[in-house]
Amino acid sequence: MKQLSLVACYGVKTTPLAGLLLRCRESIQQSPLRPFFRPYALEQIHGTVVGMECLDAEGALINANLLARTGQRTAMRFDPLLATLDRHLPLSIRFGGFAAGATPFLSAGRTPYERTFQVQWSSRRCTLIGWPHRGGDFVSHRALHALRDELERVCGIAHKYPDDNDFFMVLGTLELPENLAWAASDELEHTAAMLETQIRDLLSAEPFELVISRSDVRIVAYEDVTLCPDSTTAFELRPDTVTEEWFQQIRR
């Protein structure tokens, strides 16, 4: 069976968002990392709002993230889903605009400048991260975390990472040969660090604003966690379809 996730900006992108993603992708492809970079198709790049990965138990869909975190088998509740989203959307997300060394907040223990773009060597992913804000205030109202928290409390749908306010997009992955020499690997990490600085500085000088409304959010039924378009189906959120029976059906 397919798995489920609630995501934003999957599929066709607006022209401004496509421009941001392509600029970042082209910077990677023009760097020495190009031979190893495997870019995602533009339509599969997305931000996860909350994971809905689940398992079946006596006809109910049990949230896999809550099970892993608490050991409790919590059935997801779909009736309040749309109303919960509507209480929190739209969200204003900013990518960039943070000076090196500035600490208006921390993300995974790092500054927003550092986290805005990363070549994550351990997972081999190239990532872009933005954060919700209200009038430039990123601290008083952690809007994405608040949405994820309410989805967990009201709907039994838990995000994989607790206390997470990041809007996280993967641009592609690095595919390195298994027999890569240590010296070559060390040189590539140095190259990746220079690329990170280049893209972080670009985003610091030219921040990008993304507004996420309910029309930008989709339920996806997927086989590949990268949401490869060939094996992923995206569904609009409509009051007449968001039921447990519907969610059971689209997983088949």
The three-class DSSP label of residue 3 is: strand
Whether residue 157 contacts residue 52, with contact meaning beta carbons closer than 8 Å, is answered with: yes
CA separation for the pair 153, 165 (Å, rounded): 16
CA separation for the pair 251, 60 (Å, rounded): 13
What does the DSSP 8-state code read for residue 148?
H
Contact residues for 218 (Cβ-Cβ < 8 A; gap 6+): 6, 7, 8, 10, 11, 234, 235, 236, 237
Whether residue 200 contacts residue 114, with contact meaning beta carbons closer than 8 Å, is answered with: yes
Q: How far is CA 205 from CA 127, 199, 218, in A?
A: 18, 10, 31
- pLDDT tens by residue, 200-239: 999 999 999 999 999 999 999 999 999 999 999 999 998 8
- pLDDT tens by residue, 2-53: 999 999 999 999 999 999 999 999 999 999 999 999 999 999 999 999 999 9
Give the pLDDT confidence score for residue 183 in this predicted structure.
43
Amino acid at 122: S
Closest CA to 96 of 198, 25, 174: 198
Topology (CATH level 3) of domain 3-250: Cyclic Phosphodiesterase; Chain: A, (3.90.1140)
Split at pLDDT 50, 70, 90, the class of 180 is low
Q: What are phi and psi of 20, to 5 degrees?
A: -60, -50
Please provide the average confidence, as pLDDT, over all residues in the chain.
Answer: 93
Place of tokens 């600085």: 197
- pLDDT tens by residue, 131-175: 999 999 999 989 999 999 999 999 999 999 989 999 999 999 998
Tokens of 250: 């689209």
Give the pLDDT confidence score for residue 185 in this predicted structure.
66
What average pLDDT does range 64-76 have in this prediction? 92
Split at pLDDT 50, 70, 90, the class of 244 is confident
Contact residues for 39 (Cβ-Cβ < 8 A; gap 6+): 25, 28, 29, 171, 172
Q: How many residues are present in the chain?
A: 252
Amino acid at 231: S
Higher pLDDT, 246 or 57: 246
Task: Report whether pLDDT(88) > 50.
Answer: yes
Tokens of 91: 């969200």
Asked whether the bond before 90 is cis by omega within 30 degrees of 0, the reply is yes
**One-character DSSP codes across 77-118:** --TTHHHHHHHH-SEEEEE----TT--SS-BTTB-HHHHHEE
Every domain of the chain and the residues it spans: 3-250
Closest CA to 39 of 14, 57, 60, 21: 21
- pLDDT tens by residue, 102-122: 999 999 999 999 999 999 988
Split at pLDDT 50, 70, 90, the class of 181 is very low
CA separation for the pair 17, 216 (Å, rounded): 12
